[in-house]
Amino acid sequence: MFHKEGAKIILFSLLIAVSIILGVEYLISIPWLVKVVQIVTLLFLVIVLQFFRNPKRTLDDIADHLILAPVDGKVVVIEEVYEPEYFKDRRLMVSIFMSPINVHVTRYALNGMVTYSKYHPGKYLVAWHPKASEENERTTIVIDNPVYGEVMYRQIAGALAKRIVNYAKVGHRVNQGEDAGFIKFGSRVDLYLPLGTNVNVVLNQKARGNKTVIANK
């Protein structure tokens, strides 16, 4: 199953791929070169399709005391930082980096009420750059949860990402595991948790959205 945010790109890519695969035989007279172009075109189409895949994952346990991974990827940062935009105090940050081959759907990591949602235009530094969370295009969302209080997550564009989709709206009550947005072509998501939160992941661990428990109480 594919995410709705990829519908136009998938359709356009499919039309282009079919045109190239069928038309290249009339434009190139060298058989082996025709095959190469067709194979490369098919690989391009496969990459586009896999990028926009949206696997349905049922939650093993829905509970306010659990914070689940909002995306698929690798845990690249677990550290105490100062958060200057909303909290203006120190928080425990957990960052998950998504490569182009990961599922790029962003899901709500926890239940609660959206109390803050803001888009920031910016640069397109590589997603793992130390300043990416402050200088890249990004969206900042805060969810008020009964157990943890306010928890922030930030969608950050990478060097290839050209559009961040954010569904969170202030005043809306959201449910853990539901689609929260999408980041097109390379990105990262940062979670800002209260100090003292019991974190269940370690650096370089692979996380799966809706499956990996980031923290619990």
Q: What is the pLDDT of residue 46?
A: 82
66-216, CATH topology level: Glucose Permease (Domain IIA) (2.70.70)
CB 193 within 8 A of CB 216: no
User: What pLDDT is recorded for position 68?
Assistant: 95
Q: Which residues on neighbouring strands pair with residue 87, listed in sequence order?
A: none
Q: Which of 13, 95, 133, 187 is catalytic?
A: 187
Q: Assess contact for 166 and 155: CB atoms under 8 A.
A: yes
Helix, strand or coil, per DSSP, at residue 112: strand
Q: How many CA atoms lie within 13 A of 67 on its CB side?
A: 26
pLDDT along the chain (217 residues), means of 10: 69 86 85 88 82 73 86 94 96 91 86 96 65 76 96 84 83 94 81 96 94 91
Q: What's the pLDDT score for residue 133?
A: 67
Would you call 29 a catalytic residue per the annotation?
no
**61: number of Cβ within 10 Å:** 10
For position 132, what pLDDT does the model report?
59
Specify whether the CB–CB gap between 57 and 149 falls below 8 A: no
Output the pLDDT for position 217. Answer: 82
CA distances from residue 113 to 12, 83, 138, 148, 175 in whole angstroms, order as listed: 37, 20, 20, 12, 9
User: Which pLDDT value is given to residue 171?
Assistant: 96
Amino acid at 79: E
Cα separation, 77 vs 133, in Å, equals 12
pTM, two decimal places: 0.81
